[in-house]
Structure 1
């Protein structure tokens, strides 16, 4: 038998096997969906659904994972993108719907876990309401910019935006992030390339890294003439980012394949040329992984600082509404924090794609 005839036989066997495999997946998919619905219907018919609601919801989650896996096997290649987006965005939507229904049917204590609809109403109120007592608002009332600009120019616009809790937090995060990331990357490169510097600083950085940054915030406050101003808040964020980026960048530089360094030397790369064309591109994936972690750390630190020592910021309003027992607006503040984290992370990923085009 020739090799071509053997290949034809194997191809025909694969073609006949695929429908059976797909048929098994369809059959299993139908059974999983029917089994989940039947379990809920049986509990409801026996009047036991409310008593066993949370175990039933947990079982439904397991079934949902199995259904998603089976459905993924049936999705054609051209539909993979839509399938993955459905999982990525559909599951959070399903969690919110479950939360809403659990609150409506008394499965959750809505005093402390208000339904998403109430949280959305609280977020809307925070967005459109201006607090005359503190002179602040969530967004800084951007809808008034044309009117204020016509009356007072850019000074009036700046004054309008300076009342924003969101912009106050973003400014502190970005200021501390840039102030800490740039020198952290530079020091990490030096530590990765120079063993003496690495041995001198590695233990010290590791010791400082484990300190809770909120614990050293009072010390940072004493370093400035205005301990209650913006500078201590930005500096404590910068310290957290600096240490993370120094350690991460050092690991990225030391992890570069020696073959790349040898190839660079063979092509005449020395000093700045070696750093620009070999070391930084080689360490860039690890550096950006560290930047992503550092960005999350910056958000955690600034929200913690705003909890204890701020009169403006997303962390401040979140803690304030916890103190006055307004859980809807407290959760609304947490939603703003999460949305801000997602947007900043997407911005960092956009920068990564621009600086690392070879990974597209």
Structure 2
């Protein structure tokens, strides 16, 4: 029997095992009591089935197969979640099904909250009308009510303010041992501090402690420490042969920095940027929980306070969408700056 035939028989056996397990529990009237263990076993068997199938996917269809796994598994989880809510395996009050969360997401998108005078996207469908009535100032007022734009603006400003100096200092620490010895312990001590814990200290630094400044600065501090450590590591892990080649070809300090050190450290730098971006999102959402009247974090916490869990989950979905979108933009930038890694 060939390996292909063996795997086909194995896949068929796994499928029959799943059907037999759920069928036996259903016929015995115990499926509801044993639903979650049965579902867990089914997911494990599904992994085994996908592994058997993946062994024989031709190279030309490999990307389609991998994309199907990447998108199909979350879709399957959502389907199980929906089914579990409908069959009362979980509380639909505290764990609303995906369909209810989708309706809530649509509602917060198209509805203007007159109590907080905010909306999710800033009602972009009214931009033509506001532009005719008040010009760009009217459009700006309209967009200023957006939770999403408020959060993105804080993340973007804090990310730039922290990443650029962090990369520069990381390069210096990677090159110069004296600076590294002076700052390494201090950065290690600051790194382990919960960034949300220093938010009250940051608030004391500003004349308006409830304005945008403290929110942006606490994000910048979190990004700065991460980027400094990652960039320093990237510079120190450059292969010595590249440095020797640059010196042998007569490269000066600036040429070494531009053509050898920065390109050599870029993979680690971008890995740090991805981590720092995720940290920036976590920090700003936490800050918006505590001290904000606008932003996706504020919206999520607000709907928790008023006990509308499906809209709270909708806020979490928006956070995940923002994270995936911003990470995708970072990947695009990485491909542009590192064409040799494509």
Q: How high is the TM-score relative to the length of structure 1? A: 0.94
CA deviation map 1:258-302 (0-9, x unaligned): 100000001111111100000000000000000000000000000
Which residue in 2 is equivalent to 1:238? 220
Structure 1 residue 76: Cα displacement: 1.5
Unpaired runs of 5+ in structure 1? Answer: 1-18
Distance 1:216 1:261 in 2: 40
Distance 1:328 1:82 in 2: 33
CA deviation map 1:227-278 (0-9, x unaligned): 1100110000000000000000000000001100000001111111100000
Structure 1 residue 35: Cα displacement: 1.1
CA contact (8 A) 1:138 1:164 kept: yes
CA contact (8 A) 1:25 1:74 kept: no
Q: Is the radius of gyration larger for structure 1 or structure 2?
A: 1
Which residue in 2 is equivalent to 1:14? none
Which residue in 2 is equivalent to 1:103? 85
Match of 2:278 among 296, 318, 326: 296
Which residue in 1 is equivalent to 2:158? 176
Task: Please give the root-mean-square deviation of Cα atoms over the aligned residues, in Å.
Answer: 0.7
Aligned length: 342
Which residue in 2 is equivalent to 1:254? 236
Which residue in 2 is equivalent to 1:29? 11
Distance 1:230 1:335 in 2: 24
Match of 2:254 among 254, 272, 294: 272
CA contact (8 A) 1:318 1:329 kept: yes
Which residue in 1 is equivalent to 2:304? 322
Distance 1:109 1:135 in 2: 32
Unpaired runs of 5+ in structure 2? Answer: none
Distance 1:237 1:70 in 2: 45
Structure 1 residue 74: Cα displacement: 2.4
User: Residue 139 in 1 paired to residue 125 in 2?
Assistant: no
Find runs of 4+ consecutive structure 1 residues off by over 6 angstroms: none
CA deviation map 1:8-37 (0-9, x unaligned): xxxxxxxxxxx7011111111111111111
Distance 1:113 1:236 in 2: 32
Distance 2:97 2:113 in 1: 25
Distance 1:334 1:203 in 2: 36
